[in-house]
Amino acid sequence: METMTAHRRSMTQLVRRHLRQREIIGAAGGEVTGGGPLALGVPGITTGPGGEVAVDGERCAPAYRSLSDLLGTDAYFADVAAVTARHGQGYDPVLYHAFRDFLPPRRKNSGRCVTAGTPAHDRAQSRDHLFADLVVYQPGILPGGEPFRSTGHWNLPGQLEIFQTLTGRVLMLVGGRTGDGRAFLYEQICGPGDVMVVPFDIWHVTYVLDGPAVVFNLTTEVSGTHGRVDAHPGEEKYHRASPIAITARRDEERHEFVGSPEDWCTWGRPAEPPRTDWLRTFLAPGESLADLHLYASPDRLAALERMARHAYRLNWPYDGGPTKPAGIHH
């Protein structure tokens, strides 16, 4: 127990050093008081009522994504004319705050995390590291009825991405093709503590149902799937391919989907979320996704990648994911 306590104390110091080097803390100025704790693997990280993130009360500095940024992509809107008309009148709300590389990248074959400002961090690549981001989605409704949302993008072949909602409630729309070429489209709603994983090579977009919604995610390249990929790309990920032209729209207290006739024909109506029991077994009771990132053994991370590869080869999400094989321990 003492060893684990010392390890967590050391990791806490390392995370703070990383955040300061990234200028996520130490640059914004100001304090956040009265915030609730976030399950991010180390103590002292909180969020305020407006979604402000703080470390030991010190406000974190995010990158802001506004409606202008969304309009600068080829995003599909429920009513693009209504959105552009309001934007032309000066309407430009912040949709979400992004903290890229919030936790230091983790080497998958060891317990080592590499902090910003070091040569090891500069050399970190997705084939042998896990990357960790944090996003805070703001509440609101766009003209046309869409909840405030992410930009949406296509993941790469071989890119494993896992999300955990820490506060609020989000809807994610996920589409793509199985390994044997069948199209799929499904919706998944996640509330506090919920974890979801998306298949390889998919398109996904996130909508805010109750906000602010804080979402933590991990991403990495899974070897032995499609060859080498960059699982932590830059702005080019928003321009890789055209989005699926289907989107969510609020209908009083519920939501509905609207889209182009061509994409309804290709993708169909969103289905219920697929099985992910093979993922849930990798988190012990009370363990967060950030805990997995910072403290899981290399054997656990290797087992997670094996199960992701196996699920893809079984044409998940159509044919379900496998359950945890014997011999995997927390």
For 23-68, how does the pLDDT look when each residue is reduced to its tens digit (9 = 90+)? Answer: 999 876 678 877 899 999 999 999 999 999 999 999 999 999 999 9
Q: Is the CB of residue 204 less than 8 Å from the CB of residue 75?
A: no
Six-digit token pair at 105?
A: 């990248």
> Band of the pLDDT at 321, cuts 50, 70, 90?
low
Closest CA to 292 of 130, 109, 93: 130
Q: In whole angstroms, what is the distance from residue 18 CA to residue 25 CA?
A: 9
Q: Is the pLDDT of residue 193 over 80?
A: yes
Any idea what the CATH number is for the domain that residue 105 is in?
2.60.120.10
Confidence class for position 204, pLDDT limits 50, 70, 90: very high
The pLDDT value recorded for residue 301 is 93
Closest CA to 11 of 38, 39, 43, 36: 43
Number of domains in the chain: 1
Query: Does a structural domain hold residue 29?
Result: no
Q: How far apart are CA 127 and CA 121, in angstroms?
A: 14
Specify if 242 maps to a domain. yes
DSSP element (H, E) containing 302: helix 298-313
Q: What does the chain come to in residues?
A: 330
SS3 assignment, position 175: strand
The residues that bridge with 190 in the sheet, in sequence order, are 170
pLDDT band of residue 76 (cuts 50, 70, 90) is very high
Q: Is the pLDDT of residue 265 over 60?
A: yes
Is pLDDT of 267 > 90? Answer: yes
Residue 58 is predicted with a pLDDT of 93
CB neighbours of residue 56 within 10 Å: 13
At 14 the pLDDT is 96
Rounded Cα distance, 149 and 159, in Å: 22
- Residue 176: inside a domain, yes or no? yes
Give the torsion through C-alpha atoms of 290, 292, 296, 299, to 10 deg. Answer: -140
Question: Mean pLDDT for the chain?
Answer: 88
Please report whether residue 6 resides in a domain: no
Phi-psi label, residue 183: left if phi above 0, alpha if psi -120 to 50, beta otherwise: beta
What pLDDT does residue 26 have?
Answer: 87
Residue-level pLDDT at 224: 59
Please indicate, yes or no, if residue 322 is contained in any of the structural domains: no
Domain residue limits at 233: 62-313
Residue 129 within any structural domain of the chain: yes
Distance CA 29, CA 270 (A): 43
pLDDT value for 3: 52
Question: 20 or 242, which is more confident?
Answer: 20
Instruction: For residue 52, give the nearest of 136, 114, 112, 130 by alpha carbon.
Output: 136
What's the rounded Cα separation, in Å, for the pair 101 and 116?
Answer: 9
Residue 25 lies in a domain: no
pLDDT at 260: 96
Looking at the chain, the whole-number percentage of residues with pLDDT higher than 70 is 89
Q: What pLDDT score does 330 carry?
A: 37
What is the C-alpha radius of gyration for the chain, rounded to an integer number of angstroms? 20
Mean pLDDT value across residues 70-90: 96
| pLDDT band with cut points at 50, 70 and 90 for residue 238 | very low
pLDDT at 231: 45
Q: What is the mean pLDDT of residues 119-136?
A: 94
Residue 18 lies in a domain: no
**What number is the average pLDDT over the span 300-326?**
76
Assign 133 a pLDDT band (cuts: 50, 70, 90): very high
- State the first-to-last Cα distance of the chain, in angstroms, to the nearest integer: 16
